[in-house]
């Protein structure tokens, strides 16, 4: 059984309905397509949800210091996301995200509007074969950002870079989304990691109802930016243009590498 299959089996064993979302990551001379997130709601797991989530984390051999952190953060989380990412060299990473979605819903519905940033996700990521590769990530939500403010935050991530194709693509996607929904409904997150120089963002487009086809006009430019064959990139996105565009993450990763990740097609898992 592959590590990805093992993770899916562990989530299925929770006995709760869950969703599945795929993603494709572009990086210098590299495209990663074996990536997915499995999402489970606390209320669907049951009254012992916190204990069962911790047990699932143990089954995928989460490092002890992360287990301690999950125990501290799992109670206020109403959504749990179990992630998998495979590199071309065979390395594989497990990821667990604890989402405080109820906090977000309250912030978006509040009157007067809440605009103070808050941690929406605590995330724990580790190489399942090398415990020296592990990191805790925080996703800081900035609710109700106006379009200009959102783009300024993204621009800050790319400050100093000579070539900013991902920034230009993100601008076009935000403009398209803003024609469909109020701009303050686009969810923006700053992403940082303990002990690393990662500087990145995540913009959620689900509310706008865009399709992956919205990214298609920019794929050849992105291929050139990341020094990839255009045919390889086009092939990776073939057959998914009609799926819903989820969120777009980008910036500089913990190793100083420029990246852009397209998430898409969230649906109930079978």
The string of DSSP codes covering 247-269 is EEEEEE-TTS-EEEEEEEEEEE-
Encoded tokens for 39: 């999402």
What global pTM score does this model have? 0.94
Residue 169 in 3-state DSSP?
helix
pLDDT digits (tens, 9 = 90+) for 83-140: 999 988 888 999 999 999 888 888 778 878 778 899 999 999 999 888 788 999 999 9
Encoded tokens for 166: 């991902």
pLDDT digits (tens, 9 = 90+) for 12-29: 999 999 999 999 999 999
Euclidean distance between CA atoms 121 and 270, whole angstroms:
26
Exposure string of 164-173, with b = 16+ CB inside 10 Å and e = fewer, is bbbbebbbeb
Average pLDDT, the chain: 93
């Amino acid at each position: 059984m592959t590590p990805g299959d093992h993770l899916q089996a562990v989530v299925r064993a929770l006995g709760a309905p869950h969703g599945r979302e795929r993603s494709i990551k572009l990086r210098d001379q590299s495209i990663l397509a074996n990536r997915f997130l499995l999402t489970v709601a606390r209320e669907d797991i049951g009254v012992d949800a916190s204990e069962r989530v911790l047990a699932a984390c143990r089954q995928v051999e989460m490092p002890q210091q992360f287990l301690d952190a999950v125990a501290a953060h799992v109670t206020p989380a109403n959504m749990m996301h179990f992630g998998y990412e495979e590199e071309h060299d065979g390395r594989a990473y497990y990821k667990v995200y604890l989402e405080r979605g109820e906090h977000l819903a309250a912030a978006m519905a509040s009157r007067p509007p809440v605009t103070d940033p808050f941690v929406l996700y605590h995330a724990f990521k580790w190489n399942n074969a090398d415990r020296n590769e592990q990191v805790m990530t925080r996703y800081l939500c900035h609710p109700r950002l106006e379009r200009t403010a959102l783009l300024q935050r993204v621009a800050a991530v790319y400050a100093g870079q000579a070539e900013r194709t991902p920034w230009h693509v993100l601008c076009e996607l935000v403009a398209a989304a803003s024609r469909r929904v109020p701009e303050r409904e686009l969810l923006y997150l700053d992403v940082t990691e303990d002990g690393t120089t990662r500087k990145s963002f995540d913009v959620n487009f689900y509310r706008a109802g865009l399709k992956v086809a919205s990214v298609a006009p920019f794929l050849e430019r992105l291929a050139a930016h990341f020094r990839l064959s255009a045919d390889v990139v086009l092939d990776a996105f073939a057959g998914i243009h009609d799926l819903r565009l989820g969120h777009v993450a980008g910036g500089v990763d913990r190793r100083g590498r420029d990246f852009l990740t397209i998430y898409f097609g969230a649906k109930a898992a079978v």
